[in-house]
């Protein structure tokens, strides 16, 4: 899931097939308002794809090829850019971390306050406010670490490592954190190696660079990996584990 999983211009939704091809699915109905930031998360327990949009308390869910719309009694944080949405299968809730706003035409920063919300299939509930959620989360990366049963978040710019146990955030102190000064990157969990993998990103300062580095989190520290081949430098990409391949 991620901002590249659904294109805001035409709202084309695609699913990856086991043979590596893409299948276009029906677009959300009714149409999704907003479109500043659209994020997807797959809830394996309910076999549902949850669509988050910043503009409303409505939640779109895709079951097979059918969309449904659920009205939450509470509206979550309305994050215009960089929201992080991932499913926690241990607690059976989708986790949303984002910055309220920012203003039209502005971007989140490494000091932007964050909020943490949980979706249970019927309603949103705040799990942590701005005083206890990681600053600079919007524009960072997040993945559920199944081996350790916690969400792992890497903040933009400062590259701080935080973990979430479903109730509270804890800042970790790795000996070798990834190089600072990056944003709009992504994290994905690899169940084979039991590592959270982080790749690429864009520098937050000029000149804009796109380092093709790969890092892995083992629950205690980050290690820079040295794959024989790496994808090209890229921006606004999605990173996910594909078990069929």
> What does the buried/exposed string (b/e) look like for 197-233 if buried means 16 or more CB atoms within 10 Å of the residue's CB?
bbbbbbbbeeeeebbebbbbbeeeebeeeeeeeeeee
Counting as low any pLDDT under 70, the low residues of the chain are 1-10, 34-36, 55, 101-105, 244-245
Strands 202-203 and 214-217: unpaired
> What is the per-residue pLDDT for 69?
92
Q: What is the model's pLDDT at position 105?
A: 61
Alpha carbons 152 and 161: distance in angstroms, whole number:
7
Task: Answer whether 0.85 is exceeded by the pTM.
Answer: yes
Residues 233/238/240/245 CA torsion (nearest 10 deg) = -70
- Specify the pLDDT at position 183: 87
pLDDT of 103 reads 67
């Amino acid at each position: 899931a991620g901002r590249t999983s659904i294109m805001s211009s035409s709202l084309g939704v695609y699913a990856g097939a086991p043979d590596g091809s893409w299948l276009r699915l029906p677009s959300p109905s009714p149409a999704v308002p907003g479109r500043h930031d659209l994020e997807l998360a797959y809830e394996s327990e309910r076999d549902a794809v949850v669509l988050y949009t910043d503009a409303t308390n409505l939640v779109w869910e895709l079951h097979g090829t059918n969309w449904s719309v659920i009205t939450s009694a509470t509206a979550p944080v309305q994050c215009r850019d960089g929201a992080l949405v991932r499913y926690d299968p241990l607690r059976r809730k989708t986790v949303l971390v984002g910055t309220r706003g920012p203003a039209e035409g502005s971007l989140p920063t490494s000091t932007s306050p964050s909020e943490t919300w949980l979706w249970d299939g019927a309603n949103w509930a705040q799990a942590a406010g701005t005083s206890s959620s990681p600053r600079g989360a919007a524009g960072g990366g997040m993945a559920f670490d199944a081996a350790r049963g916690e969400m792992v978040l890497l903040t933009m710019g400062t590259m701080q490592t935080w973990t979430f146990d479903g109730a509270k955030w804890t800042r970790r102190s790795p000996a070798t954190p990834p190089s600072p000064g990056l944003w709009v990157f992504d994290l994905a969990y690899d169940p084979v190696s039991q590592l959270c993998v982080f790749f690429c990103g864009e520098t937050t300062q000029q000149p804009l660079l796109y380092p093709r580095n790969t890092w892995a989190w083992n629950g205690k520290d980050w290690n820079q990996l040295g794959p024989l081949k790496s994808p090209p430098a890229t921006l606004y990409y999605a990173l996910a584990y594909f078990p069929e391949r």
